Amino acid sequence: MIEVSGLTKRFRDRAAVDDLTFRIARGEVVGLLGPNGAGKTTTLRLLTGFLPATAGSVRVAGFDVFEEPRQARRRIGYLPEVPPLYDAMTVRGQLRFAAELKGLRRALLPAEVDRVSRLTGVNGVLDRLTVNLSKGFRQRVGIAQALLGDPDVLILDEPTVGLDPIQIREVRDLIRSLGGRHTVILSSHVLPEVAMTCSKVLVLNAGRMVGFDTLDGLIARHLPGRTVTLDDIAFLEEIFGKLVIPA
């Protein structure tokens, strides 16, 4: 579903993203993990075509993001770290407006707004102004907006940042439920977030990929002989340290 080859983004003499190459299969939920400044957000912006690349290519559902941007973007739902919501709009108005921008047929808008609002649990606040929503509900509206048009790929940048523990669990469960029907990439620097939500982990450090595997694969490679469970988050901290901190 996503094919990345030699992807590089330079800002003057600094490589924010440096020669990334990886593939993500349909229906996988992949966590993009790395310390602050590792290049996670820049990578997501490149995958969506929001930023041009210095070198390399990105293909989504067979379409080149840079050469065929319209076709590629129709297959992508994107949630930036701060959901792009208009405070003066109701949730219903926000979702209808976003659906119109995506080119959905007007006759289909009510049903599509109803579908994504029920899926994300915001159907009870459709007539409230977005400015009056809690942080958790604003994130849910942002995810609902990304789901409009039923895109093949969802790209979520720090989807639980700033949420309280209950909201984090709710949004985490929602994202996990989207796997299979959608291919999901989410960025995070929160280790439990990735362990509890994602089937694979792609670790970035200083713009370069330093690890990409399932959690079981990472455990076998970096903690051989250890038996761990997802409840033991310390194992991911240990692996993370081995990958991003030079020996």
* Residue that wins the pLDDT comparison between 47 and 162: 47
Give the model confidence (pLDDT) of 218-229 as tens digits: 878 877 776 666
Q: Over range 137-162, report the average pLDDT.
A: 91
Query: pLDDT category, 233, cuts 50, 70, 90?
Result: low
Tell me what percent of the residues of the chain surpass a pLDDT of 70: 93
Q: What is the pLDDT of residues 73-93, one digit of tens each?
A: 999 999 998 899 999 999 999
* Tokens linked to 11: 């800002």
pLDDT for 192? 75
- Average pLDDT across the chain, whole number: 88
Average pLDDT over residues 46-51: 93
At 92-127, the pLDDT tens digits run 999 999 999 999 999 999 999 999 999 898 999 999
pLDDT of 67 above 50: yes
Q: Taking residues 45-55, what's their average pLDDT? A: 94
Cα three-residue angle 165-166-167, rounded to 5 degrees: 90
pLDDT tens digit sequence for 184-223: 999 987 777 787 888 899 989 889 998 898 888 887 887 7
The pLDDT value given to residue 231: 59
* Structural domains of the chain in order of their starting residue, each with its CATH number: 1-75+153-247 (3.40.50.300), 77-150 (no CATH)
- Report the pLDDT averaged over residues 18-26: 95
Residue with tokens 């659906």: 99
